[in-house]
Amino acid sequence: MNTNSVRAKEFNFDGLVGPTHNYAGLSVGNVASQVNQGNVSNPKKAAKQGLRKMLTLHELGLAQAVLPPQERPSIKLLSQCGFSGSDSQIIKKAANAASELFHAACSASSMWTANAATVSPSADTVDGKVHFTPANLVSKLHRSIEDETTTRVLKSIFTAADKFTIHPPLPHHQSMGDEGAANHTRFCPGYASTGLEFFVYGQHYFNKSAVKPERYPARQTLEASQAIIRSHQLKSNSCLLTQQNPKVIDQGVFHNDVIAVGNLNVLFYHQHAFVNEQEVRNSISNFFNDHRFYFIRVDDNQVSIDDAVKSYLFNSQIVCLNQDALRTNSREETSMALVLPGECEENQSVWRYLQELKAADNPIDTLIVKDLRESMANGGGPACLRLRVVLTDEESAAINSNVIINKNLFERLDQWVDKHYRDRIDVHSLADPQLLVESRTALDELTVILNLGSIYPFQR
């Protein structure tokens, strides 16, 4: 095949915030999640903020799609843990007898689709297919219940077996702890080119003498990343493994996408992001050879780890503004934008640094600030909300097009949120059995809008 004739583009698949969006403080190691525990949430506002971000990227000319929320509370989880009776009875019993378990069953964390899966484009794989591995998310109970529905959702969108392979999640054991694309980045000269898939792990599970965090758990293991590399049949020259700095994990950097973000020929990262920074730089430079690569290193005296975590500077999205020029293996320089949460603008040191970044010699020349306060208060910024999927034109034509955002779908989903979502959820609201009824009614209607079929347990 003449790869120079292949055209490809990157899709952002954003998670739609679910009807039970709440602040239960379930994510140990995630500073925002812990700090805001017990606060009142606004699911309607949260969903609308996410939708407006999707519309903004669509209006910029990017390929934008949506992934649905999951059914919550999870009656299946509560039943597996010994609660019985009608759905209403199960909810009331669990809420009264096992509040921590009940709150895990109510989590709307599937909205952060950077954790949904790891995706390898066809340009990187030996069999020429796009490979997906849904993340098992075993480090947190409330997230470990997501992968079953995630698998069904992916299969309902990427239906062509000759083009897409949806692998089962890795085994549900700590040695195979997999947090998806939050610890995975892809660098490439152009989206149609063979890329360098960058896997960042928190610990080497089976090597007990290897360095690892002391305060918070390392959620991604080396062993999980290696398993995905094998399953995805990645080309031997298409992979780079490195360890995240355990010291920053202990400071609240629970995923790599809280301390680094990359796109095409740009790596934007904090100086303390990796155990071996120079090795990372050397490997990427060797892969790019005579192509120019931009290492945008943020020093601690420019932005501290504390400010990076508070603002989610590195959980921004880097997106390309001249998409058409990038759909082939072109070496044309591209203009990039940084999609930032409003908290970056409010942090003095971060905002000062961003003005310097925009004026420096690198492709990032535009800053786009979005209000995602409801998501941010639970520990997820712009990059947490999206899963990146590079598709050729032929592959794009083979997916379920009903999930691709345009103005009409945005308006329909916006109205759907107005119709079904509450504007206030507190700890007592979650125990209201009517919330499950409302959520199921909403999700049933959503599967029709997005043409997803029967993806939820209650539909089966």
Task: Tell me the per-residue pLDDT of 34-92, one tens digit each, with 9 for 90 and over.
Answer: 666 767 899 999 999 999 999 999 999 999 999 999 999 999 999 999 999 999 999 99
CA-CA distances (angstroms) from residue 2 to 193, 235, 335, 348?
Answer: 11, 18, 27, 49
Average pLDDT, the chain: 93
User: What whole-number distance in Å separates Cα of residue 18 and Cα of residue 69?
Assistant: 5
**Does residue 86 form part of some domain?**
no
> Confidence class of residue 2 from pLDDT cuts 50, 70 and 90?
very low
347 touches 311 (CB < 8 A)? yes
- Site of tokens 């812990």: 34
Contacts of 80 (CB under 8 A, 6+ apart): none
Q: Pseudo-torsion of CA 106, 107, 113, 115, nearest 10°?
A: -120
pLDDT at 1: 38
Q: Which amino acid is at 366?
A: T
pTM to 2 decimals?
0.95
Q: What is the pLDDT of residues 345-361, one digit of tens each?
A: 999 999 999 999 999 99
Mean pLDDT over residues 354-383, rounded? Answer: 94
Tell which wins on pLDDT, 321 or 344.
344
Greater model confidence, 428 or 392: 392
Exposed/middle/buried for residue 397 (C-beta within 10 Å: 0-12, 13-18, 19+): exposed
* pLDDT above 60: residue 326: no
CATH of the domain at 313: 3.75.10.20
CB 263 within 8 A of CB 320: yes
- Cα 345 to Cα 355: distance, rounded to the nearest angstrom: 10
**For residue 108, what pLDDT is reported?**
94
Catalytic residues: 179, 255, 384
What tokens were used for 447? 């599967």
pLDDT of 138 over the 90 cut: yes
Amino acid of residue 299: D
**99 belongs to a structural domain:** no
Q: Would you say residue 132 lies in a domain?
A: yes
d(CA 70, CA 145): 10
**209 falls within a domain:** yes
More confident position, 332 or 23: 23
Residue 95 lies in a domain: no
Q: Is there a domain that residue 82 lies in?
A: no
Identify the domain containing residue 217 by its residue range: 9-72+107-459
**Residue 240 forms part of a structural domain:** yes
Q: pLDDT-based confidence at 121, cuts 50/70/90?
A: very high
Spacing of C-alpha 379 from chain mean position: 12
139-183 pLDDT, tens digit each: 999 999 999 999 999 999 999 999 999 999 999 999 999 999 999
Alpha carbon distance 126, 251 (integer Å)? 39
Alpha carbon distance 155, 146 (integer Å): 14
What confidence category does residue 32 fall into, taking pLDDT thresholds of 50, 70 and 90? low
Range list of β-strands (E), 154-288: 164-166, 184-187, 196-201, 239-243, 260-263, 266-270
Tokens 């140990």, residue?
28
Residue found by looking up tokens 């034509």 in the block: 397
- Nearest-angstrom CA–CA distance, 191 and 327: 6
Q: Is residue 285 part of a domain?
A: yes
Number of domains in the chain: 1
Q: Which amino acid is at 399?
A: I
Structure tokens at 319: 């997106």
Instruction: Please state, in angstroms and rounded to a whole number, the distance separating the CA atoms of residues 153 and 404.
Output: 14
Count of other CB atoms within 10 angstroms of residue 236 = 7
